[in-house]
Structure 1
Amino acid sequence: MKRVINIAALALIVLLLAALPWIAPYFYIFIATEILILGLFAASFNLIFGYTGMLSFGHAAFFGAGAYATAMLLQSQQWPLLGCLLAAIVAGALLALLIGFFSVRLDEVYFAMLTLAFGMMVFAVVHQWRSVTNGSDGIAGFTVGQFGLGLPLTLGNPSVYYHMVLVVVVLAAALLYLICRSSFGLVLRAIRQNPERVAFCGLNVRSYRLAAFTIAGAFAGLAGGLMAPFLRIASPELVHWSMSAEPVLMTILGGSGYFLGPFFGAGMFVLLETWITSVTQAWMLVLGIILALMVMFFRRGLLGTLLDWWMERK
């Protein structure tokens, strides 16, 4: 019965999101699109943080790889967006495989520092390789044509693009959920709790960590592939190390112990940022104070605290 209620609640949320363009102004459609994309970005990070116990400070490298792959293909080849998104997934996965091959050998703070170093290296390459990435100016001026599969979608329309993002994110989240609930996901949770005991069982911990890191990079690349057409630009800011801090904040804010926690955290983060920037120029200071207080008093994240409160009332 509980499972049926959860599925019904999720279906209701998806239906409300699908109806948003008919009940809200364009401004909120843009905000909702950003939340969905960043929510997928944070959910991909949570696969290696919340489920595997690896704190990465270079996750934006895969996000940026997907964004640049999409922007380049749209600008030079005019590919359908579906093909660009598939290329973004491959770009994110290959870069994650390369970085993860060296990073998963280390644990805890050493792993975090090595991913940060690789992330800074990727940013330096993107920023300085002007002949390919156009340097600090980024890749802009591309148009988003057809989605592919013969679907007559006008992706230049914000409402149409929002619905496309919603469908892609829901499908990607469902696939990510199945991965987390599979036997592979159970092994990842065991590695987070006690990697030594998992190794004693005869499983290759490093291989599982590398697989999780690569899968997370693929989903982050997909999120980046959705972000580039949304912003109409792929810029080095999408690869910067500060961008890697956003999925960390969103995951902790929403609750890393819950699959939907990163999506709730992304919604709270974007809404707070939008509201604060509209009332003060010192938005970073105010946002930092609010986030610090929320992390201090919502120890299990926003979603976890709300669920605990609901269970106590019952």
Structure 2
Amino acid sequence: MMNESTNKALPAVPLAQPTGAGALAPRLLLLAIVLLLVAVPGLLSQALVNAAIQMLIAALFATAFNVLAGQGGMLSFGHAAYFGIGAFATLHAMNALGGAGLLPTPLLPVFGGLGGCALGLVAGWFSTQRSGVYFSMITLALAELLHALAPHLTGVFGGEAGVSSMRMPAWGVSFGEPFHVYYLTLAWVLASLCILYFFTRTPLGRLTLGLRENAHRLKFLGYNVHSARVMVFMISACFSGVAGGLLAMNNEAANYVLFDVRLSSEVVLNAYIGGTGVFFGPALGAAVMTFFGYAVSDLTRSWLLYQGLIFVVVMMFMPNGLSGVVLWWQRSQQGSAVLARYVLGWAIGGLLCAAAVVFAVELLQRALGADYQSLLVAGQPWPAIDLFGRAWLPGALSTWLLPLALVIVGGVALRRVSRAWDELNDKEGA
């Protein structure tokens, strides 16, 4: 009976491993990605290396979160608490130990994991007493409680200034260069991802899938469901703390802003955009969205709006996330050339609609800004706004015909490609 309930969740963690060429291709892809990550410092500028560090940390945080939410079926709205505790625990360890002795600088993120695990034990014991939306609300309440208390616990969290430290040399490495920190982060992230993947292959990892599918059935079979949930919560919180410790080592400082609900919401968005049904899906989503924030935040003040729109679009049209697209490509009965043609059609239509949204958002953001509104004179037409190398009149109908035309053309293209795809599948089914 247990095998039956466990096997229902196999899309998240396949029980039967592919054999032959089917098993070789993912391993070669994984090896290529690892080699590319190793070569990153030699290929990118210092600024992009720092962005790559943030992407790796976000990928680990999202994967740790997915152990609880995607595999265990327990959606936490307060996971920033364990990330932040891991950061502060690592900083205090850096100050206390000086990066020397039995626990030199490269090993100090272990204190982040211990801090996250300890808090996860306490918070997990309370929150896992309930399930569903009640569980989510309890995790949010506990995280907000910590966020409210942190400014007053200056001895632990440092108040407004936060806590700071310095990376000390160890093992012949100064850790003063960005690529030193990058390789340290990469080593910890790869090791943590391997451990988390190994966890999914263990009996407790399989039991985690059962918790998501039918906890009442597990209880009927004699399992202590509450203890199992607490253990899964602790594992997720532990590796979230490791991710926070890596952030602390990279920034050499942290303050209680890390406990803000925004960070908790970001990891939820990243995990679901990447796809919670695949082990590496949340890591993919976190890396993509972290780079998106890095690249777009300097270009527009509306980048958070775009991030939210991306989440809405993914949930509406790609409910399995970005990794679901990869699985769709692998499992489709059509040839690669046919798939590429349809994907290109969807991409063109999507880009046209996206261009219309960007144009409208950026023009409205400037037109409704305080600086522009101060230029308006009653009874006079609105002055032109410089956007994308051209002057646009917000009050002119011709200005808004452009995004309207882009939406219409893009929508028609998407509809035609989708209809052609459905007809092709219908013919194949017949």
Q: Is the 8 A contact 2:127 2:139 kept in 1?
A: yes
158-167 or 267-276, larger mean C-alpha shift: 267-276
Offset of 1:242 from its aligned partner? Answer: 1.6
Distance (Å, rounded) in 2 between the aligned partners of 1:83 and 1:230: 14
Counterpart in the other structure of 1:233:
253
Give the C-alpha shift of residue 132 in structure 1: 2.7
- Tell me, in whole angstroms, the C-alpha distance in 1 between the residues paired with 2:51 and 2:189: 15
SS of aligned partner of 1:194: helix
Do residues 109 (structure 1) and 133 (structure 2) align?
A: yes
The farther-off stretch of 273-282 and 184-193 is 273-282
Deviation (angstroms), 1:163: 1.1
* Residue pair 1:67, 1:224 contacting (<8 A) in 2 also: yes
Shift of 1:5: 2.0
1:135 to 130, 143, 159: 159
Amino acid in the other structure paired with 2:225:
V
Query: What SS does the corresponding residue of 2:168 show, helix, strand or coil?
Result: coil
Higher alpha-carbon deviation: 10-19 or 121-130? 121-130
Q: Is 1:123 aligned with 2:143?
A: no
The equivalent of 1:20 in structure 2 is 40
* d(CA) in 2 for partners of 1:130, 1:137: 9
Give the drift of 1:83.
Answer: 4.3
The counterpart of 2:284, out of the listed 247, 264, 288, is 264
Q: Secondary structure in 2 aligned to 1:97?
A: helix
Q: Return the match for 1:202 from 218, 222, 244.
A: 222
Match of 2:24 in 1: 4
Alignment of 1:35-50 (within 5 A): 35-50=55-70
Match for residue 146 of structure 1 among 154, 169, 189: 169
**For the residues of structure 2 that align with 1:287 and 1:21, how far apart are their CA atoms?**
27
Structure 1 residue 51 corresponds to structure 2 residue 65: no
Partner of 1:91: 115
Q: TM-score, normalised by structure 1?
A: 0.95
Aligned twin of 2:317: 297
Bigger drift between 71-80 and 189-198 goes to 71-80
2:130 match: secondary structure: coil
**Seq. identity, %:** 33
Rg larger in 1 or in 2? 2
| Gapped regions of structure 1 (runs ≥ 5) | none
Q: TM-score, normalised by structure 2?
A: 0.70
Greater shift after overlay, 122-131 or 39-48? 122-131
What is the alpha-carbon distance in structure 1 between the residues aligned to residue 285 and residue 42 of structure 2? 25
Q: Distance in 2 between matches of 1:253 and 1:155?
A: 33
Cα contact 1:299–1:305 (8 A) shared by 2: no
Deviations 1:191-219 (A, max 9, x none): 10111111111111111100000011110
Equivalents in 2 of 1:201, 1:25: separation in Å?
Answer: 56
Corresponding residue SS for 1:137: coil
Take 2:77 and 2:168, find their aligned partners in 1: how far apart are those partners?
A: 34
The equivalent of 2:264 in structure 1 is: 244
- 2-side partners of 1:33 and 1:82: how far apart? 15
Q: Secondary structure at the match of 1:135?
A: coil
Spell out, residue by residue over 1:242-275, the C-alpha distance to the aligned partner (whole angstroms, 9 max, x if none): 2111111111000001000111011111122122
How many residues were matched structurally? 310
Residue 204 of structure 2 corresponds to residue 184 of structure 1: yes
For residue 309 of structure 1, report the CA deviation from its aligned partner.
2.4
Measured after TM superposition, the shift of residue 189 of structure 1 is 0.4
1:276 equivalent in alignment to 2:296: yes
**Matched letter for residue 207 of structure 1:** S
Alpha-carbon offset, residue 76 of structure 1: 4.1
Instruction: Provide Cα deviations, 1:46-81, integer angstroms capped at 9, x if missing partner.
Output: 001111100011111111011001112223442322
Please, which of 206, 210, 213 is the counterpart of residue 193 of structure 1? 213
Give the counterpart letter for 1:130 in structure 2.
T
Is the 8 Å Cα contact of residues 276 and 286 (structure 1) preserved in structure 2?
A: no
Superposed displacement of residue 122, structure 1: 1.2
Q: Is the 8 A contact 1:18 1:163 kept in 2?
A: yes
